[in-house]
Structure 1
């Protein structure tokens, strides 16, 4: 019995040792590949393939990240432009017509949508200036009609002893821009008394008839009165 038990003990021990050896050194598999069956090269190829796929995935993730950043920046720019456009459209019409000095102060501001309007405003201003210049030139060439009047004055002296020639000389000394003395003659009145009938041409805008008669009546040593014998527009 002792011999049988001893044989059994050694037999069990041998089986245990074999099982332990197989456990630590026996066939092992990783992802379906057995390590001790001569397929280690297949495992290496599989690991290399996994590394390549991992590298591709990292590259794709990096590209997607760059694309996402570009899209975010573009959205920020569009949002800023929309805010600027809404701000301009809400301004009153009176503010849109600012003086040129204010426009120059705003040159530093970014104007994304106003360049075409500025070009149109500049073109309209140029056309307006050309038309004004053409109108001024046409007006300058146009002959202006000066309103004139032909007047005959009857100047009566105090008596028959008044020297009519001296009186006429004194009257012709009255000068004014727009006054031109003409022909004259002595006309008998009564009792040997004569009056001076003298003509003149005056520009209506420069010489007043009332002023002219008052100036003649200032010659009190010669003139008794002045009457308008004829008045004709030229």
Structure 2
């Protein structure tokens, strides 16, 4: 009986039990490590998918932005800028042609005046040195000769005076026949109306009715100012001795029903 009880209290398979328990826990640890690795891989795949999705959304936004039509306001502003640019180019070309024409006329007039002056000087030499030489010669001979030379001296002086007066009269007559150079000025006037309801065509017609000797109206155009208001830009040529710029601007400002103010945009001598 005692021997049986002793055998029951002794754990014969204890080593095998501990070995099996150790293997069980090692198995559990391996499963947990594999599960963690699998979770990490899944999260990385999810991040990659989210990144690809965001990139595609950004590309769609860029495509939509580039393919969207330009607003009408931007197109209107671009058209207005292009129109102003074209008007400025036309104005510059017209001013350039006027300047070139003026330069050519001045060059031709200078050549003509220089040619006429050189011809007049060569045709009418100044006789002053010859008139002065005669008294010196007479004074030198007076010391050596007792002959009375006063009579011949008076005759020679009268002859020199007569010749000189004839030549001066001929030169004055020739000079009086030369055409006089008329000084002129080219103007560009900016005429501003009261508001956008003013009829600019009627205003231009009334301005062109201002007529006087020495005034010649030229080309005109309507230039945008702001808020739908336009101004009249009109050119003219005036003779400086006959037409005053102050008088012309005052005459235009008298059209009070149409004209608010007048400014001289450009002034050139011709």
| TM-score bin, normalised by smaller chain | 0.3 to 0.5
Q: TM-score, normalised by structure 2?
A: 0.41
Q: Which has the higher helix share?
A: 2
Q: Which has the higher strand share?
A: 1
